[in-house]
Amino acid sequence: MTKSALQIARAAYKPKLPKALKGGAVKAEMGQPTESVADQEMIKKLFPNTYGMPLIRFTEGQQGEHPAINVGVILSGGQAPGGHNVISGLFDGIKTLNKNSRLFGFILGPGGLVEHQYMELTSEIIDEYRNTGGFDIIGSGRTKLEKEEQFEKGLEILKELNISALVIIGGDDSNTNACVLAEYYAAKNAGVQVIGCPKTIDGDLKNEMIETSFGFDTACKVYSEVIGNIQRDCNSARKYWHFIKLMGRSASHIALECALQTQPNVCLVSEEIEAKKMSLDDVVTYIAQIVANRAAAGHNFGTVLIPEGVIEFIPAIRDLIAELNELLAKNKDFAMIKKSAQREWIISKLSEVNARIYESLPEGVAKQLTLDRDPHGNVQVSQIETEKLLSDMVGKKLAGWKEEGKYVGKFATQHHFFGYEGRCAAPSNYDADYCYSLGFTASMLIAEGKTGYMSSVRNTTAPADEWIAGGVPITMMMNMERRNGEMKPVIQKALVKLDGAPFKAFAAQRDRWAIETDYVYPGPIQYFGPTEVCDRPTKTLQLENAK
């Protein structure tokens, strides 16, 4: 593998570990039994073998004898910076327990387990990927593990390779699959442990025991750098409004964090829009008024940050999408209908209220709402050009105000969508350290014979010596949700809390940011230099952990 100068320098970086993990000998302290966040009776019934397990906290322990074990690892779902360090930490952890332990990677995600595609990850391979971005060491995939025949096919290769533990690195849906798999193998006494690791740049896989999902820190720093660059250009040319859509399907964590880092003129927060029951016109009017206010002050330029999934949080649009999801789930041959007739067919099948809303949408947006669903039966919001929809509607609103003499400025726009750019970046020092610790913690959970747990590393705004490593039962995070027309157990997504410290800090400043040009230019991620520059966590985490 040809390496850049940065990769060569980064290869020598030694990720920091919590004090309890440094010697590789830990003691597992068991907490109280747990229960799911909602739907307790139903979740308990679905997961009788992995429900109610205690929280685990690792402390320093005495070195003991550990038999050599074979472990499998899967990268599941979308990429996130730091995945290679999770695998490195897992590898080093099992080797610390016994130098004869082996690690096998399944190729291209969960599908590799089912299709028996794998490779052994040796020290030579691992060393090539330490502290690098991407998931290219073994690739990732989105195959859902939910059918008994898949579990059995997976078990065949696990038995063939003498693998007694499987680590699934993924987001909420991937870890839901890990929980289902753990339950199945436990019920069969198959002798295979399943451990999850919390990954998603969206930041919506978190709770009191998982304080952040890995990759969020790096992705937000990448996006904030580019937003800062755009704002500097914006403040130089002084003639464009930049509408910037940011990845984050079900929550606004990325947009909120980037706003805290860059201080844009407008940042929409989907959860607030839902709470206030704002209509699409309300959102458009809110943005247009800020544009008009800045124009009155002589500023015909600015930046607007838009969460990727905002359109689903506008109550009327959300209800429309929910009905569309059900309609398309029941009519699998929709794609066979002549394209010119699809719009009218949908209008004829929707309820009166939703038919009216659908008919009122621009044809392009309406069409995007009917594109193929994702594997979970949901509309693919990344394909909806919300940034263009909103800028177009703001432009029309301003044109109407101009005719009425309420607006005297100029409104020219540029559009951006930042998503893939942040998913495979070289991990920040924070993510490099956090991910390595998550992988190492997973190896300790395996050594303790645990299954159905997610690796947990907390207190990460403190020095690494003070980080708290342990495990949390995945069932503790679960609730029931409708997927593809059926109620399914899934990990509950963590949305932006409007009474939380990050949103409150943003809300206290946004009116000033709206009228003033007080942009912050964060610059690129720094890997070498002062701790306060190189090791700083996200503003979200700092605010949430502030005592």
Catalytic residues: 202
Quote the CA–CA distance of 506 and 309 in Å, as a whole number. Answer: 19
Q: How far apart are CA 83 and CA 140, in angstroms?
A: 10
Q: How far apart are CA 15 and CA 467, in angstroms?
A: 13
- CB-based contact 304:263 (threshold 8 Å): no
CA distance 337 to 343: 10
- Please answer whether residues 307 and 495 qualify as being in contact, where contact means their C-beta atoms are separated by less than 8 angstroms: no
Q: Which residues contact 99 (CB under 8 A, 6 or more apart)?
A: none
- The rounded radius of gyration (Å) of the Cα atoms in the chain is 24
Give how far the C-alpha of residue 457 lies from the chain's centroid of Cα atoms, to the nearest Å.
Answer: 17
- Strands 26-33 and 54-60 turn out to be antiparallel
Here the tokens at position 227 are 């937003």
Task: Please answer whether residues 42 and 12 qualify as being in contact, where contact means their C-beta atoms are separated by less than 8 angstroms.
Answer: no
d(CA 540, CA 524) in angstroms, rounded, equals 19
Residue whose structure tokens are 């432009």: 395
Q: Which two tokens stand for residue 304?
A: 């607007």
Is the dihedral angle over the CA atoms 322, 325, 331, 333 positive or is it negative? positive
Q: What is the C-alpha to C-alpha distance for residues 106 and 78, in angstroms, rounded to an integer?
A: 16
314 three-class SS: coil
CA distance 48 to 317: 38
CA angle 334, 336, 342 (to 5 degrees): 55
